[in-house]
Amino acid sequence: MTIIEKIIASHSGQQTVKPGDIVDVEIDIRAARDFGGANVVKNILNNGLKIADPSKTLFTFDCNPGGSDQQYAANQQYCRQFARENEIRVYDVDSGIGTHLAIDNGYAWPGSSFVSTDSHANILGAIGCFGQGMGDQDIAAAWANGYVWFKVPGSVRINLTGQRLPVVTAKDIILNLLSIFGANQLLGYSVEIYGKESDQLTLDERITISSMATEMGAIIIFFPPTPFILKTLKEKTGKDYSTIEADPGAVYDKTFDIDLGRFVPMIARPGHPHDDIAITGVGQLKIDSGFIGSCTNGRMEDLRVAATILKGRKVAPGVVLKIVPATDAIWNEALDEGLISTFKEAGAMVSNAGCAGCAAGQIGQNGPGEVTISTGNRNFEGKQGKGFVYLASPAVVAASAVAGYITTPDQIPSVPVRFEKKSIIRSSLKEKVKSEKPTVAEGHVWIIPKDDIDTDMIFHNRYLTITDIREMGQYTFDNLKGFEDFAKKAKSGDIIITGKNFGAGSSRQQAVDCFLSLGISCIMAESFGAIYERNAINAALPILTFDRDTLKNADIKNADRIRVDFITGELTNLRNAQTCLINKFYDAQLAIYKKGGLF
């Protein structure tokens, strides 16, 4: 049997298995991340399931280790509460990438089985472990049953012949393989790599190569553990392990002999990890940013290479270099070795351990048009932001960050390339058509009898990246209890009547603009937050204050239709013809309003 067949057989009570067999595979360690973890818990609860073995069950919070996203923070806390109730170990936001923790802490070992809600759980092939990324239902089933069903895949053997050039890194090896096999030639296969040079690969190098099996379409990339690898694992975990190897007569669907000596430093062009060319083919392309990290290249060896290049140098003017170690232990080791100081002195930004920009939960994202060179495993359109992402080794990323353009360590110029001064940011200004602003509002009333409604209740901070006013209205009040459906029910021309200190809190303009987006014709409150009042006036959103006792004279009920005169302050309830006087626009407010806003 091949490696994967031997592991599956030993974990399914079978003497032998062959490609196409479907068996129940016992899972040694079952993990869920903050991405997908909450859904795993919901599947457990909604189906009345129990945890089969808490000691084999883990949470790893690595997608958004800063908890900087409200929804991630909510999911993380939901998982923490479930973990406390069920005595499940949590590797929280201060820990790092789950698959790396599994290797370094001994949760995975040669010949073991591991599943996670991480599509790169097959990174564990680096130590001869059968690791698989699976969906929320699969993981929930593994947590409840201790096993999952699996179809035994066919196996492919790759023999790496020849000797690699000194400039060819582990990242270059996998990018060269991607250029040969693309994203689907090895689809659904288990891949085993052999050769004199591959036997010399360190644990960190094997992790880099195995981490991109998913991008090749492969089930996993296995490296049979060498004595050196077993020794490395023992140093990390304190445990003795034996190797896992294919049988001498193992049957492979395909075998490839590939000359490693022909591999060159490679780069993947934006959009596809398998769209690879030699670095010399990109022609000193100017970059905006660099990123070193992810489960592919956030190990100590990667950081040491980057530090060697950055030592005594500076990141090019205008270029942003972001560095994220894979685990907190690696972070601390980098600190002890002085690498963090080297990075900071060079002008790089160093973040806490985790997946970083690859998972959109940490530093590493880029903006529209931004050119980034990254050590990540994916550069799908929109994956790491809205710019253009090139994939390369840590050495190339560090050298490029210093040069200001894509280059190799041996080609770093003495003077970095600077950005040219050219007009690439265009104004969206459209000619404004002057129209007379109405000084009387008439509409149906929303009575919101609450004081101190803050800007997070009006327009939550999770939406603050929205800059198009047309998109803002739909989120109005969705964080105000009892009025979460306001945006769906409100009609253009509606009027809001509320209590004291409306708009307390932050200076966010969106808390004003969302009402303009919905066409709200007027907001009346007993008082407004100081910044909110200015923002509303400057945006030509009609706001007025009133005395509560005086307003009672109009006997206004929810959904009544009223008319308000901004200049006189006269308010009329059209249901009962009752009137009262509220505070009118003051002179400066009226002048700005008639002008159509501050601008």
CA 385, CA 524: separation in Å to the nearest integer?
41
Domain contains 492: yes
Q: Which two tokens stand for residue 589?
A: 């407010």
Q: What are phi and psi of 479, to 5 degrees?
A: -115, 20
- List of residues 6+ apart from 389 with CB closer than 8 A: 270, 366, 372, 373, 374, 376, 379, 383
Are 392 and 465 members of one domain? no
Rg (CA), the chain: 30
CA 363, CA 358: separation in Å to the nearest integer?
9
CA 553, CA 577: separation in Å to the nearest integer?
11
What range defines the domain where residue 120 resides?
3-262
What is the per-residue pLDDT across 421-468, written as a single tens digit (0 to 9) for each? 766 556 665 666 667 899 999 999 999 999 999 999 999 988 888 889
Q: What is the pLDDT of residue 520?
A: 97
Are 253 and 278 members of one domain? no
Q: What is the pLDDT of residue 433?
A: 62
Are 450 and 485 members of one domain? yes
Contact 34, 154 (CB under 8 A): no
**Which portions of the chain are predicted below pLDDT 70?**
66-68, 359-362, 422-434
What separation in angstroms does the CA of 272 have from each of 182, 268, 541? 9, 7, 47
* Count of CB atoms situated within 10 Å of the CB of 282: 17
Give residue for tokens 């923790």: 101
* Count of CB atoms situated within 10 Å of the CB of 304: 16
Are 199 and 281 members of one domain? no
Q: Which two tokens stand for residue 541?
A: 């959103």
CA 178, CA 217: separation in Å to the nearest integer?
10
Q: Which two tokens stand for residue 278?
A: 């030699």
Write the CATH number for 550. Answer: 3.20.19.10
Are 502 and 538 members of one domain? yes
CA 199, CA 311: separation in Å to the nearest integer?
31
* Count of CB atoms situated within 10 Å of the CB of 213: 26
Q: What is the pLDDT of residue 367?
A: 83
Domain contains 435: no
Q: What is the pLDDT of residue 420?
A: 81
Are 173 and 310 members of one domain? no
Helix, strand, coil percent content, the chain, rounded in steps of 5: 35, 20, 45
- Residue in 239, 174, 238, 237 with CA at minimum distance from that of residue 201: 174
Query: Vertex 90, ends 85 and 96: CA angle to 5°?
Result: 165
Domain contains 480: yes
Please tell me the total count of domains within the chain: 3
**Which residue type is seen at 103?**
I
Domain contains 543: yes
Global confidence as pTM: 0.82
**Which residue type is seen at 295?**
C
Are 232 and 188 members of one domain? yes
Beta strands of 53-164 (E only): which ranges?
Answer: 57-60, 89-91, 113-116, 130-133, 147-151, 155-161
Burial letters 130-166, b for 16+ CB under 10 A, else e? bbbbbebebbbbbbbebbbebebbbbbbbbbeeebee
Domain contains 424: no
- Of the residues 238, 262, 286, which one is the last residue of a structural domain? 262
3-class secondary-structure state, position 204 = helix
Write the CATH number for 132. Answer: 3.30.499.10
Domain contains 520: yes
How would DSSP label each residue in 403-430?
A: HSBS--GGG--SSPPPPP----PPP---
3-class secondary-structure state, position 194 = strand
Are 192 and 91 members of one domain? yes
CA 533, CA 544: separation in Å to the nearest integer?
10
Domain contains 418: no
Are 179 and 102 members of one domain? yes
Are 195 and 121 members of one domain? yes
Q: What is the pLDDT of residue 275?
A: 86
Domain contains 126: yes
What is the per-residue pLDDT across 146-169, written as a single tens digit (0 to 9) for each? 999 999 999 999 999 999 999 999
Q: What is the pLDDT of residue 431?
A: 61
CA 57, CA 40: separation in Å to the nearest integer?
12
Contact 104, 234 (CB under 8 A): no
Q: What is the pLDDT of residue 428?
A: 60
- Of the residues 203, 233, 262, which one is the last residue of a structural domain? 262
- Of the residues 243, 262, 281, which one is the last residue of a structural domain? 262
Contact 207, 100 (CB under 8 A): yes
- List of residues 6+ apart from 362 with CB closer than 8 A: 64, 65, 66, 68, 324, 351, 352, 354, 355, 356
CA 268, CA 179: separation in Å to the nearest integer?
9
Are 403 and 471 members of one domain? no
Q: How far is CA 275 from the centre of its chain?
A: 23
Are 199 and 296 members of one domain? no
Q: What is the pLDDT of residue 68?
A: 67
Classify residue 467 by its DSSP letter.
-
